[in-house]
């Protein structure tokens, strides 16, 4: 009964969404205020209906109602409650429902927070938002009904893929979707702006915080996913350029570019049509990711079960949403008034450079991800594109970007002084060169990879560049110290946001470089009592025991680890065999230190009385997580900036300092 | 000229969409099975408890007649879905179906057949880790193989046997092999 209510609520939501997609749009073009205002109650009704539907499915999972096919296929009574709930979105149908729920919530948020928006823009944007909802609701109702019943109901369910039974991954999809769907706001407002034929500072001021919020969620979601890959998949790495990883990374790149170009629209009234294009692209890439993961067009280690009917439907959705938007863009964008002009060497110029590099980066990732498809479609054979391609093509693009990241914020708007900016970065440059040399010497010249020195130099350059900009802003050493302090205290939060985020990227680059360049690993068959030394850490295998979990049986190895003869840690990695579905997983044991992670994995017994063990030392891994954390924190700080919260054009008359950023 | 530039995104997307459309008809997972047109792997699977004498499944049992080999398990939900249709195929008598109870508790496997009906001629059990299924190249349950009179694997069907798959794909192959 409850499942049917959920199903019915979705059908009602479709009806409401259809109204919302049409009526406000007509109202806006005719200037009919009542028709435009309809977008408010309809978006509120959608939040309610979709929430009922989501709650109904959650209820089926929590109560283990196996007469619902989706629950029977993905849940099990023995599963801990957290994973019963996470099971709701751990499958194709449920994750779509989560997608729609988030979409509805964002739509509701426009109504709630957008009271100061021009009514035409608001109702048009909400209508576009509703069109996306219609597409997804049709998709779910016609091809992927999560409420389908099963007759007769099985006694127990099949269980959730054990790899996904992990706290990190339980929250990975919701965060990722908050990011993907968050970009729909920028998209809807971009389409609304194209229809109106006007993009101005007020538009950018509204779009920026939403894009920033989406970016924060997406960053967190991606980080959580790679953190999970790092500790759960047990291969010591954290990123594999897998199609599904790429599917989340491409919108991130486009979204990052969008964040920066929207700044230019707001401050300088320039780069408008480019910003609109990025807004469409960022959401388009989010949709594309959905298509790739669910259509079976690309193989991936963690794609959803696929069905050709779904593939055709979502391709249709993609063509209408993205093809249609790009077409509208081709027709309307040339008419957008171009605003402030700027010299190539200016703040705008460096932001544009950043944008072009980001977009090119996203393009290369797209090319690499789709290349197997192109090759197959053109009968060039089955190929796979792996990390070597991406590392060789993508990373070099990021080098000039990071170099420019230190320079850009030191340039002034309109016409910048490159020589002046560079002269202020003298210290940063000198220390970056010193870091390169020190790294080279420390790793024993060509004994380590050549690019490690470059990576470390970039990290130092960016970090010191960020500090230089901060010092510049508060006129450190140029004005009396007390004056610098008071300037520091008065810095707008958006400035702090940029400083923290950019510094976070520097910390991330250092961690990424070190963990890729100097990872130490040792794989062997290790007997009980035997000691293996990796990076100065001596691992003694004490025993391997069977332990019983709630829905798995595990063999747990116990290592006593010493460093320089002193006890360091007792580490207990596990190899688990889950019962339903029957599947093995590895649970690595990780001890994190400032300089690196000590990482141990235990495997099957090797036949000669030993166990296959894999022992790693992964340098500076925690720097990567810390750097990502700083990027998220910076985003949050910037989001809390008063101007972002105010957002609306009518209240933009604020104290003068808030105009600077 | 400048206007053409604005058309670039939609043009690029159009080309991508064409590739996607083509991609939907291709299957990147379809790695041509090395087992097609090869003899069935060597096996001698023990019988399911309480199913009479004429059970167990060995390589020799698959010679002399065109037959289907169906991989199932009591834990497999999609198997419940295809099961009624397997019962129908049994009633037509066109082709004998043999079952491999894969990675299952034999008692549960037998109980499951009592509950849902037993479409099989012979059933062998392949307990975890499922060596025989690995030899067959099974990637998941259910999967169904067509074996010809000489005991050579001629086709592999992944997923539940649906009426559509049966009419359009499996039955024509069986008819062809029976000629």
Please give the class, per CATH, of domain A1-161.
Answer: mainly alpha
Test mutation, B1, B7, B11, B75, chain A, max A CBs within 10 A:
B75
Is the Cβ pair B24, A382 closer than 8 Å?
no
CA A240 vs CA A337, A369, A547, A586: distances in Å: 43, 12, 31, 18
CB nearest to A377's CB, from B2, B6, B22? B22
Q: Is A523 a residue whose pLDDT tops 90?
A: no
Tokens representing A640 are 């809390």
Q: What percent of chain B has pLDDT over 90?
A: 19
Chain B interface, Cβ < 8 Å to A: 2-3, 6-7, 9-10, 13-14, 16-17, 19-24, 26-29, 31, 75-77, 80, 103, 128
What is the distance between the alpha carbons of residues B37 and B16, in angstroms, rounded to a whole number? Answer: 37
pLDDT at A460: 96
Contact B10 A330 (CB under 8 A): yes
What are the structure tokens assigned to A595, written together? 């300089």
Alpha carbon distance A592, B158 (integer Å): 44
ipTM: 0.84
Structure tokens at A530: 């035997």
Interface contact flag, B3 A327, Cβ < 8 Å: no
* Chain A residues inside the 8 Å CB shell of B24: 295-297, 308, 311-312, 315
**SS3 of A539, please?**
strand
- Whether residue A322 and residue B13 make contact (CB cut-off 8 A), yes or no, is yes
Of A331, A290, A287, A114, nearest in space to A184 by CA: A287
Residues of A (247-306) whose Cβ lies below 8 Å from B = 273, 277, 280-281, 284, 291, 295-299
Q: Is A66 on the interface with B (CB under 8 A)?
A: no
Q: Please indicate whether residue A77 or residue A456 has the higher confidence score (pLDDT).
A: A456
Residue B122 phi, psi (nearest 5): -125, 150
Share of chain A above pLDDT 90, in %: 50
Give Cα separations from B130 to A319, B51, B77, B91 (angstroms): 44, 21, 18, 29
Q: Which of A100-109, A118-127, B67-76 has the lowest mean pLDDT?
A: B67-76
Residue of B nearest to A71 (CA): B77
Chain B residues touching A69 at Cβ < 8 A: 77
**Least confident window among A89-103, A420-434, A441-455:** A441-455
DSSP label at residue B31? P
A154 touches chain B (CB under 8 A): yes
What is the nearest CA distance from A61 to chain B, expressed in angstroms? 17
Banded pLDDT at B140 (limits 50, 70, 90)? confident
What pLDDT shows up at residue B99? 92
Comparing alpha-carbon positions, the chain A residue that sits nearest to B116 is A152
| B24/A312 Cβ within 8 A | yes
Query: What span, in angstroms and rounded, lies between the C-alpha atoms of B170 and B179?
Result: 15
Q: Which residues of A touch B102 (CB under 8 A)?
A: none
Q: Does the pLDDT value for residue A323 go beyond 90?
A: yes
Is residue A153 pLDDT above 70, yes or no?
yes
How do the domains of chain A map onto residue ranges? 1-161, 166-366, 394-518+628-634+655-659, 520-622
Q: State the Cα–Cα distance between residues A255 and A176, nearest whole angstrom.
A: 13
- Domains in chain B and their CATH numbers? 32-178 (3.40.30.10)
Model confidence at A647, pLDDT cuts 50, 70, 90, reads very low
**Does A373 sit within 8 Å of B20, measured CB to CB?**
yes
Chain A residue numbers with beta carbons less than 8 Å from the beta carbon of B17 are 315, 318-319, 323
Residue contact B77–A580, C-beta within 8 A? no
- pLDDT, residue B80, reads 82
Of the candidates B66, B172, B83, B79, which has an alpha carbon nearest to the alpha carbon of residue B119?
A: B83
* Residue listed under structure tokens 């003298």: A426
**What is the DSSP code string of A647-660?**
-SGGG----GGGG-
Give the mean model confidence (pLDDT) for residues A520-545: 91
A607 CB contacts (<8 Å, ≥6 apart)?
Answer: none
CB A298 within 8 A of CB A292: yes
Query: Measured between CA atoms, how close is A51 to chain B, in angstroms?
Result: 28
With CA atoms as reference, the chain B residue closest to A334 would be B3
Q: Please state, rounded to an integer, the average pLDDT across all residues of chain A.
A: 88
Chain A interface, best mutation among B4, B20, B27, B33, by max A CB count within 10 A = B20
Structure confidence at residue A295 (pLDDT): 67
HSE, CB side, 13 Å, CA atoms: give it for residue A621. Answer: 23
pLDDT of residue A498: 94
Residue A395 or B130, more confident:
A395
Three-class SS state of A129: helix
**CB-closest option in B3, B19, B77 to A373:** B19
pTM for the full predicted model: 0.81
Span A404-423, pLDDT tens digits: 999 989 988 888 888 888 98
pLDDT confidence bin for A644, thresholds 50/70/90: low
Look at A273 and B6 and tell me if their CB atoms are within 8 Å. Answer: yes
Tell me which of B1, B5, B13 to substitute to probe the interface with A (most A C-beta atoms closer than 10 Å): B13
Mean model confidence pLDDT for chain B: 84
pLDDT grade for A12, boundaries at 50, 70 and 90: very high
């Amino acid at each position: 009964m409850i499942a049917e209510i959920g199903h019915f609520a979705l059908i009602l939501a479709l009806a409401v969404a259809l109204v919302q997609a049409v009526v406000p749009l007509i109202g806006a073009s005719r200037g009919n205020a009542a028709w435009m205002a309809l977008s408010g109650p309809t978006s509120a009704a959608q939040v309610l209906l979709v929430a009922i539907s989501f709650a109904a499915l959650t209820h089926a999972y929590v109560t283990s109602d196996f007469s619902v096919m989706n629950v029977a296929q993905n849940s099990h009574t023995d599963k801990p409650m957290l994973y019963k709930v996470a099971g709701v979105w751990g499958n194709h149908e449920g994750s779509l429902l989560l997608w729609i729920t988030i979409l509805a919530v964002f739509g509701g948020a426009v109504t709630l927070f957008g009271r100061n928006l021009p009514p035409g823009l608001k109702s048009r944007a909400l209508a576009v938002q509703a069109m996306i909802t219609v597409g997804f609701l049709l998709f779910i109702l016609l091809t992927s009904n999560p409420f389908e019943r099963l007759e007769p109901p099985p006694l127990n369910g099949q269980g959730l893929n054990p790899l996904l039974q992990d706290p990190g991954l339980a929250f990975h999809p919701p965060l990722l979707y908050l990011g993907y769907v968050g970009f729909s706001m920028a998209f809807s407002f971009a389409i609304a702006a194209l229809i109106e034929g006007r993009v101005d500072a007020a538009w950018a001021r509204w779009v920026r915080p939403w894009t920033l919020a989406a970016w924060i969620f997406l960053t967190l979601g991606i980080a959580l996913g790679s953190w999970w890959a790092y500790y759960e998949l047990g291969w010591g790495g954290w990123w594999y350029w897998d199609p599904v990883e790429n599917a989340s990374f491409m919108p991130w790149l486009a979204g990052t570019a969008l964040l920066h170009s929207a700044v230019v629209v707001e401050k300088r009234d320039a780069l408008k049509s480019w910003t609109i294009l990025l807004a469409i692209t960022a959401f388009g890439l989010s949709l594309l990711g959905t298509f790739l993961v669910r259509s079976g067009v690309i193989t991936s280690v963690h794609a959803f079960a696929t069905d050709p009917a779904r593939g055709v439907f979502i391709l249709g959705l993609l063509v209408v949403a993205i093809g249609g938007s790009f077409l509208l863009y081709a027709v309307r964008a040339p008419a957008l008034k171009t605003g402030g002009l700027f010299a190539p060497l200016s703040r705008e110029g460096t932001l544009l450079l950043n944008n072009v590099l980001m977009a090119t980066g996203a393009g290369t990732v797209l090319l690499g991800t789709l290349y197997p498809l192109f090759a197959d479609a053109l009968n060039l054979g089955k190929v796979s594109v792996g990390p070597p391609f991406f590392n060789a093509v993508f990373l070099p693009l990021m080098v000039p970007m990071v170099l420019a990241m230190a320079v850009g914020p030191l340039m002034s708007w309109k016409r910048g002084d490159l020589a002046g900016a560079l002269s202020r970065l003298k210290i940063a440059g000198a220390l970056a060169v010193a870091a390169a040399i020190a790294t080279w010497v420390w790793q024993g010249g060509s004994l380590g990879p050549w690019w490690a020195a470059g990576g470390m130099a970039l990290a130092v350059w960016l970090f010191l560049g960020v500090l230089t900009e901060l010092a510049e802003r508060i006129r450190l050493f140029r004005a009396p110290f007390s004056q610098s302090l008071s300037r520091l205290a008065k810095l707008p939060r958006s400035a702090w946001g940029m400083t923290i985020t950019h510094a976070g990227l520097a910390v991330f680059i250092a961690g990424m470089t070190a963990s890729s360049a100097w990872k130490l690993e040792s794989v062997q068959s290790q007997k009980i009592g035997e000691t293996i030394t990796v990076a100065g850490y001596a691992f003694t295998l004490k025993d391997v025991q069977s332990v019983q979990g709630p829905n798995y049986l595990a063999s747990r190895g116990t290592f006593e680890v010493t460093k320089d003869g002193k006890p360091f840690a007792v580490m207990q990695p596990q190899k688990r065999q889950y019962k339903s579905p029957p599947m093995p997983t590895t649970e690595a044991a990780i001890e994190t230190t400032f300089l690196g992670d000590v990482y141990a994995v235990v495997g099957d017994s090797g036949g000669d009385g030993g166990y296959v063990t894999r022992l790693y030392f992964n340098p500076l891994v925690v720097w990567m997580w810390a750097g990502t954390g700083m990027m998220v924190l910076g985003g949050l700080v910037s989001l809390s900036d008063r101007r972002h919260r105010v957002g609306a054009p009518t209240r933009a008359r604020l104290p003068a300092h808030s105009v600077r950023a | 000229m400048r206007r053409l530039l604005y058309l670039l995104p939609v043009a690029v997307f159009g080309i991508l969409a064409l590739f996607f459309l083509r991609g939907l008809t291709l299957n990147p997972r379809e790695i041509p099975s090395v087992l097609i047109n090869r003899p069935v792997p060597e096996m001698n699977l023990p019988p399911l408890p309480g199913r009479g004498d004429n059970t167990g499944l060995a390589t020799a049992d698959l010679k002399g007649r065109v037959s289907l080999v169906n991989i199932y398990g009591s834990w497999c939900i999609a198997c419940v879905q295809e099961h009624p249709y397997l019962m129908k195929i049994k009633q037509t008598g066109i082709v004998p179906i043999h079952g491999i109870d894969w990675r299952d508790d034999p008692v549960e496997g037998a109980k499951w057949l009592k509950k849902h009906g037993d479409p099989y001629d012979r059933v062998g059990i392949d307990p975890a880790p499922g060596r025989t299924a690995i030899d067959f190249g099974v990637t998941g349950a259910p999967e169904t193989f067509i074996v010809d009179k000489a005991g050579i694997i001629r086709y592999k069907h992944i997923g539940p046997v649906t009426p559509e798959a049966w009419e359009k794909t499996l039955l024509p192959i069986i008819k062809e092999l029976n000629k």
